[in-house]
């Protein structure tokens, strides 16, 4: 990777963000289920907007997980006897495709039903012959 030194200012901003994030509560699967039940009763276009919000949340969690994996890799590379040069080369290979995919996911979220959100629709059609 490029220069990984963090300025004192950046460190203060990161610390402020960490403090701010402590007040954020991660939504539990149960709470997300309750939200989903609520959303089923909303009229269109509110239901579609709410479904897209849920989908964006899922994509955001997946994206942050990918970034977390990259962070873990970078932080443990030395322990795993991966040279800084090899680590940089790996990131040069991985970053373009990873961020291309993450950007594409964020730009192309379009959910109109819970079946779209869950990925069930193709199987639902297959077994019921219903759109």
Question: Per the domain annotation, does 7 fall within a domain?
Answer: no
Question: Per the domain annotation, does 1 fall within a domain?
Answer: no
Q: What is the reported pTM? A: 0.72
Question: Per the domain annotation, does 102 fall within a domain?
Answer: yes
> What angle do the packed helices 46-76 and 84-107 form, to 10 degrees?
180
Question: Per the domain annotation, does 96 fall within a domain?
Answer: yes
Question: Per the domain annotation, does 32 fall within a domain?
Answer: no
In this prediction, residue 120 carries a pLDDT of: 57
Question: Per the domain annotation, does 8 fall within a domain?
Answer: no
Question: Per the domain annotation, does 116 fall within a domain?
Answer: yes
The 3-class SS string of 42-107 reads CCCCHHHHHHHHHHHHHHHHHHHHHHHHHHHHHHHCCCCCCCHHHHHHHHHHHHHHHHHHHHHHHH
Report the number of distinct structural domains present in the chain.
1
The C-alpha atoms of residue 52 and residue 117 are separated, in whole angstroms, by 8
For residue 125, pLDDT beyond 80: no
For residue range 54-64, list pLDDT tens digits in order: 888 888 888 99
For residue 130, pLDDT beyond 50: no
pLDDT, average across residues 114-123: 63
Task: Provide the residue range defining the domain that includes 75.
Answer: 43-131
Q: Which of 21-25, 71-75, 92-96 has the lowest mean pLDDT?
A: 21-25
Question: Per the domain annotation, does 82 fall within a domain?
Answer: yes
């Amino acid at each position: 990777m490029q220069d990984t030194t963090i300025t004192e200012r950046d460190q203060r901003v990161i610390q402020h963000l960490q403090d701010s994030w402590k007040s954020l509560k991660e939504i539990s699967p149960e709470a997300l289920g309750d939200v989903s039940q609520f959303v089923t009763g909303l009229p269109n276009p509110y239901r579609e907007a709410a479904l897209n919000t849920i989908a964006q949340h899922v994509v955001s969690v997946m994206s942050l997980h990918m970034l977390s994996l990259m962070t873990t890799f970078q932080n443990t590379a030395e322990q795993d006897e991966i040279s800084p040069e090899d680590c940089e080369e790996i990131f040069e290979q991985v970053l373009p495709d990873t961020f291309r995919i993450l950007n594409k996911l964020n730009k192309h979220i379009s959910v109109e039903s819970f079946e779209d959100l869950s990925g069930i629709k193709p199987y639902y059609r297959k077994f019921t012959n219903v759109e």
